[in-house]
């Protein structure tokens, strides 16, 4: 078993999911297969439910808590670091659990403490980057393995789709920055006004503070004599703290709303990508090259030509000479001067009051 998974090409192109599915071959690129990719059902978020559902579309079967293999099947286990990553474990014939830490790393039966894994639920699942705090359950897989991940003909498509997501995220970042300027300025102005109003309640000097204390004592004594409750006085420090918390909560609510809208937009893009790929869309390497060059902010000839073809740019002829029916205006003083150009020629510049040299 180790001989197959230690081969250089297999070692570099597979991940924990490929090892759990017993699928060492046919994985292009260096990302490793992802749950659901084989059947155009892409991951939208990293949760136990989402990863488990996508894995079951590839052929995994939930065991309903059973940890023992059944005839013709072995058992795998899922663990998730919410919103970050997932990890799979595979039970071998001797009862120990093995896993592949990452593409490029060898399979092992040791957890991150260096102990042999006898139960993935109790093993140390914290590596240098993530802690897989949520256990996702056990699943059956056939002994012959499962075909998971994209097929080689979809390698360019996957890179193209990844770049589409990156472009969307960058566009969202720009829109977020542009749209946040006015609300942030309004919130800051409101905070300054409220802070100034609250600070006006503070004593202006020591004499004012002394007079206020005397007045408050008189009010308290009068309330006691009349049998009334003591008057409640506003504390400027407490008011400022409450104001800061209110403004912070408003900003957090706006951020949650914005992130929810952005996540919805990304999910809609992934749904569109699934439908488009299932219908047979396959971009060419030239299409990917255009997208990559645009992603890096480069303006190569092929990307400019593609933009013109798609109607994003329009060629406009530019002439260095004025039209015949529109002659050059004469200099007000009747004098002209010549200005050299990079191509070896020169142009006539009328001498006006602004560019006339001082005597």
> What are the pLDDT digits (tens) for 188-216?
999 999 999 988 888 888 888 888 888 88
- Strand 85-91: give its sheet, edge to edge: 61-62, 134-142, 73-81, 85-91, 97-98
What is the Rg, in whole angstroms, of the alpha carbon atoms belonging to the chain? 35
CA nearest to 61, candidates 142, 123, 3 = 142
For the chain, the domains span 2-150, 156-291
Mean per-residue pLDDT, 156-164: 90
288 and 160 Cβ atoms separated by less than 8 Å: yes
Rounded distance between C-alpha atoms, residue 307 and residue 66, angstroms: 56
pLDDT of residue 294: 63
Residue from 113, 122, 76, 67 nearest 98 by CA: 76
Decide: residue 278, CB within 10 A, 0-12 exposed, 13-18 middle, 19+ buried.
exposed
Q: Report the alpha-carbon distance of residue 279 to residue 150 in Å, rounded.
A: 15
Distance CA 293, CA 52 (A): 36
pLDDT over threshold 50, residue 23: yes
Lowest-confidence pick of 67-76, 200-209, 238-247, 289-298: 289-298
Residue 359 has pLDDT above 50, yes or no: no
Whether pLDDT at 349 is above 70: no
Do the Cβ atoms of 134 and 82 come closer than 8 Å? yes
């Amino acid at each position: 078993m180790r001989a197959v998974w230690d081969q250089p090409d297999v070692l570099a192109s597979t991940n924990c999911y490929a090892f759990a599915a017993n699928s060492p071959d046919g994985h292009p690129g260096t990302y490793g297969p992802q749950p659901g990719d084989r059947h155009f059902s892409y991951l939208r978020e990293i949760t136990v439910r989402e990863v488990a559902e996508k894995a079951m579309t590839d052929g995994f079967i939930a065991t309903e808590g059973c940890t023992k293999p059944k005839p013709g099947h072995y058992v795998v286990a899922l663990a998730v670091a919410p919103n970050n990553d997932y990890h799979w474990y595979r039970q071998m014939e001797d009862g120990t659990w093995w896993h592949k830490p990452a593409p490029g790393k060898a399979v092992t039966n040791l957890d991150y403490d260096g102990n042999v894994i006898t139960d993935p639920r109790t093993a140390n699942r914290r590596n240098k980057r993530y802690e897989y705090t949520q256990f996702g359950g056990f699943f059956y897989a056939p002994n012959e393995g499962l075909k998971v991940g994209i097929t080689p003909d979809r390698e360019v498509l996957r890179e193209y789709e990844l770049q589409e997501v990156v472009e969307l995220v960058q566009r969202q970042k720009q829109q977020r920055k542009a749209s946040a300027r006015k609300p942030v300025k309004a919130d800051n102005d409101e905070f300054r006004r409220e802070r100034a109003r609250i600070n006006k309640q503070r004593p202006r000097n020591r004499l004012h503070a002394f007079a206020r204390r005397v007045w408050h004592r008189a009010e308290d004594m009068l309330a006691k004599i009349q049998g009334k409750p003591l008057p409640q006085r506003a504390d400027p420090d407490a008011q400022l703290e409450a104001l800061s918390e209110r403004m912070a909560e408003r900003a957090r609510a706006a951020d949650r709303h914005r992130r929810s809208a952005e996540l919805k937009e990304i999910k809609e893009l992934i749904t569109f990508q699934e439908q488009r790929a299932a219908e047979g869309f396959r971009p060419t390497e030239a299409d990917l090259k255009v997208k990559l060059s645009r992603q890096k902010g480069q303006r190569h000839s092929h990307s400019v030509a593609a933009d013109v073809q798609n109607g994003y740019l329009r060629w406009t002829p530019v002439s260095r000479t004025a039209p015949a029916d529109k002659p050059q205006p004469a200099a007000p003083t009747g004098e002209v001067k010549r200005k050299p150009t990079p191509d070896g020629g020169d142009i006539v510049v009328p001498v006006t009051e602004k560019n006339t040299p001082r005597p």
